[in-house]
Amino acid sequence: MKKKIELFVTGLVLAGVGAVANTGTLTAYQSQPHTITIIDKDMKTQYETREVYLDEFLDANDIELSDHDLIYPSLDTELKDGMRITIQRWNPEVEIILNGKSETIQTQEYMVADLLRTERIVLKEDDEINVALNEIIKDGMEIEINTYETGKKIVETPVPFATEIHNTSSLPDGVSRVVSEGKEGTKRQVVEVVYFGGEVKEEILVSTEIIEQPEPKIINKGIHVEPVYVPEPVHVTKHVYVPEPVYEPKHVYVPSPTHQVNPTVNWNGKPYEYTKKLTMEATAYTHQPGDRWYNQTASGMPTFVGMVAVDRDQIPLGTKLYVEDYGIAIAGDVGGAIDWNDIDLYFNSPSEVYDFGRQHKDVYILKDQSIDVQALRGA
């Protein structure tokens, strides 16, 4: 419209003389007031205005619109005389039911989350709401909210008294008499109460205290008691004979020392005492003329049946022995393959060595180390 006015004025200027006469007509056109009706919140108000557009009229008359208010026609509409303008304010009516308590309010908020924030309703993780927080508010909407809340209550309850019955012979048999009436005590309990949706969900006992002790009811009951005869005590003097002590010498037997006898082994009908018994892995060997070590031993003695090779760390060289199924022997030789629990027995022929093979034999360390093994063996 402003552009139309500018073009119209320009045309008047170009028209020369006629422009002066028409200028008055232009001024009258611009200043001519319009009568319009505003309908806002069901209230009708008439205005006279010289504004050209609706938004200019609202600004000039301090009529404010919120972001969610609706107006018809649109703000860029050119005003006309007799025009009706309707404003629908965003002010929906909402019913909020919080933990069973209902309240109806009008709000200018647009979304449910904004409404809860305005009403200072804070939802926790386990709370429940029947609409989405990002849902747009509608007129007549019902919002139901159930929240968890906790509180404490103090409960005082009576503590029953006990009844004590005392038997007595001061009353006739079977007759009872109340000595003192009982009195209840008082117990105080602190209880934590969990509510959900305004209703009790759970009660948790926190503490219990007896603030007043109960007093028992005491009853005396008569019983019949038979008299008990107690004889007079009789003094009796007792004479106790205590014999004179008699001295009796004690004879302690001390056995005479005995000779320690060692176990024996028999060879050729004669017993030989031994001090130690070993179980060893026995092998056999022999020397033949032409052998590198023929008739040579670690002890320097010649080889003969009765000569055995040992590990000198287990059995020292020169030790006299008895070998099971072999006889009296002497540890007179060593060998590279002989280790700790091994023993190698000398035989005269390879066939004897082959027949002997490898066996486990008991080996006895003889007590008498002065035995001449070579003489006994006839070597």
> Residue 257's pLDDT is what?
56
> Residue 130's pLDDT is what?
94
> Residue 21's pLDDT is what?
39
Q: How many C-alpha atoms does 101 have within 13 Å on its Cβ side?
A: 6
> Residue 42's pLDDT is what?
79
> Residue 44's pLDDT is what?
93
The CATH classification number of 151-223 equals 2.20.230.10
Domain spans of the chain, in order of start: 34-88, 93-146, 151-223, 264-371
Distance of CA 378 to the CA centre of its chain: 86
Q: One-letter amino acid identity for 124?
A: K
Q: What is the pLDDT of residues 234-289, one digit of tens each?
A: 655 555 555 666 555 555 555 555 556 789 999 999 999 999 999 999 999 998 88
Q: What phi, psi does 57 have (nearest 5°)?
A: -65, -45
Q: Which residues of the chain have pLDDT under 70?
A: 1-31, 227-260
Neighbours of 105 (CB within 10 A): 12
> Residue 28's pLDDT is what?
39
Q: Which CATH number fits domain 93-146: 3.10.20, 3.90.350, 3.30.70, 3.40.1440?
A: 3.10.20
| Whole-structure pTM value | 0.39
Two domains, one topology: 34-88 and 93-146:
yes
| Tokens read off for 136 | 């747009």
Pairing of strands 128-129, 141-146: antiparallel
> Residue 240's pLDDT is what?
55
The CATH number of domain 34-88 is 3.10.20: yes
User: What's the CA gap between 197 and 200, in Å, rounded?
Assistant: 8
> Residue 340's pLDDT is what?
87
Contact call for residues 346 and 306 (beta carbons, < 8 A): yes
**Fold that domain 264-371 belongs to in CATH:** Barwin-like endoglucanases (2.40.40)
Q: What is the pLDDT of residues 52-71, one digit of tens each?
A: 999 999 999 999 998 888 89
SS3 135: coil
Sign of the dihedral defined by the CA atoms of residues 225, 231, 233, 239, in that order: negative
Helix (H) or strand (E) run with residue 59 in it: helix 54-60
Neighbours of 253 (CB within 10 A): 4
